[in-house]
Amino acid sequence: MAKTVISMHDITVIPGDGIGKEVMNATLHILDALNIDLNYTKAYAGNECFQKWGTTIPEDTISLARNSDATLFGAVTTVPGQKSAIITLRKELDLYANIRPVKSYPGVRSVYQDLDLVIIRENTEGLYSGIEEETDDGASALRVITRKASQRICKFAFDYVKHTGRRKLTAVHKANVLKLTDGLFRDIFYDLARKYEDVEAEDRYVDAMAMFLVTKPHKFDVIVTTNLFGDILSDEGAGLVGGLGLAPSANIGKENGLFEPVHGSAPAIAGLGVANPSAMILSAVMMLNYLKEFGEASRLDKALKEVLREGKVATLDLGGGSSTMEMAEAIRKKLVE
Ligand code: NAD
């Protein structure tokens, strides 16, 4: 069937390292079957990039990502001592909001079925500010919490709850111990809550939240938290719904959007062609929604869900024996049949 192209977007594609490259290939193969014209420019980042050009994140890559309509990012290997490519991109593009859905899919073996919550993580400061120094007896890292970053992430989260028709927002912090930093974050959250009377606002300590995510996750709807807590809780969330192979994310700023799976480059399975491409594909669905291509986003989401529900073509982590590209082919087939 001839493809009816309805719009055109410039997309920066950063495959990265390891399985990042494999799940990106699979995803581009599927996106090619959509009724949408995506104009890709490939850019480099990560450890292989460092080996070739001596930097994990060249200026050209940052500039391309800044000037495109959206960026698709696979995953990178971060070698200790190297500058993290993804953290640099998030900071350079001021991608302050990291949206990480925790959603279960029919047909996927998981701890919980019918789970549908979202973690919104502050993406530019906290313990990932990268301010570390050696001390007489070791080293220390600075955990930066600013009024500006806390206000904009909490506002983003309240707006997200409203725009997506959700009902409740939970702020997660450790203000009982980190009185100044997380105390500020919690106070800003409740100040804003007064302006969003129709959103139920509550807060939890991060340690208790880690347990509640396992014992009663259905009680939560949208969670907003600081950088490291959000990173840890979202991996925990992924573990409840089938693993990292199914966990997508969006990094959103005022001017740019970057979409990437939560997982890393998975060196243990890299090169074997067995990585689950679902997290990357779901990240592409988030990108299409960001580009307001709602129809094609929904078609792609549906095609993936059907393949997951049928369970006939599934990668190792899903209990099957199919390769990354076999799964991609099965999803693509749903789009063109
Ligand atoms: P990882 O996410 O790469 O892997 C964790 C576990 O999940 C491994 O057992 C892996 O095999 C499995 N896994 C991950 N994605 C999978 C998929 N799509 N299909 C099937 N199984 C999958 O985390 P890690 O092992 O802690 O880190 C490996 C490298 O990735 C490190 O260099 C780390 O710094 C980097 N990393 C990068 C990012 C990023 O690029 N955003 C995120 C996390 C880790």
Q: What are the residues facing 121 on neighbouring strands?
A: 98, 225
pLDDT at 4 over 60: no
CA distance 192 to 177: 23
Confidence (pLDDT) at 81: 87
Residues labelled as active-site residues: 128, 174, 207, 231, 235
245 lines ligand 1 (CB under 6 A): yes
69-117 pLDDT tens trace: 999 999 999 998 899 999 999 999 999 999 999 999 999 999 998 999 9
**193 Cβ below 6 A of ligand 1:** no
Q: List Cα–Cα distances, 309 to 107, 243, 299, 306, in angstroms.
A: 4, 16, 15, 5
Find the helix packing angle between 19-31 and 324-336, rounded to 10°: 10
- Kindly state if the Cβ of 76 falls inside 6 Å of ligand 1: yes
CA gap 256, 267 in Å, rounded: 29
Average pLDDT of the segment spanning 330-337 = 94
Query: What are 153's two structure tokens?
Result: 């992430």
Q: How far apart are CA 34 and CA 316, in angstroms?
A: 27
Point out the ligand 1 atom lying closest to the alpha carbon of residue 23.
18
Q: How far is CA 123 from the centre of its chain?
A: 11
Q: Please check the confidence at residue 7 and state whether its pLDDT lies above 80.
A: no
**What is the CA(79)–ligand 1 centre distance, in A?**
13
Residue 172's identity, in one-letter code, is V
Whether residue 265 has its Cβ less than 6 Å from ligand 1 = yes
Say if CB 203 and CB 170 are below 8 A apart: yes
3-state class of 252 per DSSP? strand
Q: Which of 121, 127, 240 is nearest to 171 (CA)?
A: 121
65 pLDDT above the threshold of 60: yes
Q: What is the pLDDT of residues 185-227, one digit of tens each?
A: 999 999 999 999 999 999 999 999 999 999 999 999 999 999 9
Q: Give the pLDDT score at 337.
A: 81
CA–CA distance, 305 with 293 (Å, rounded to integer): 18
69 vs 75: CA distance, rounded Å: 20
The Cα–Cα gap between 206 and 203 comes to 9
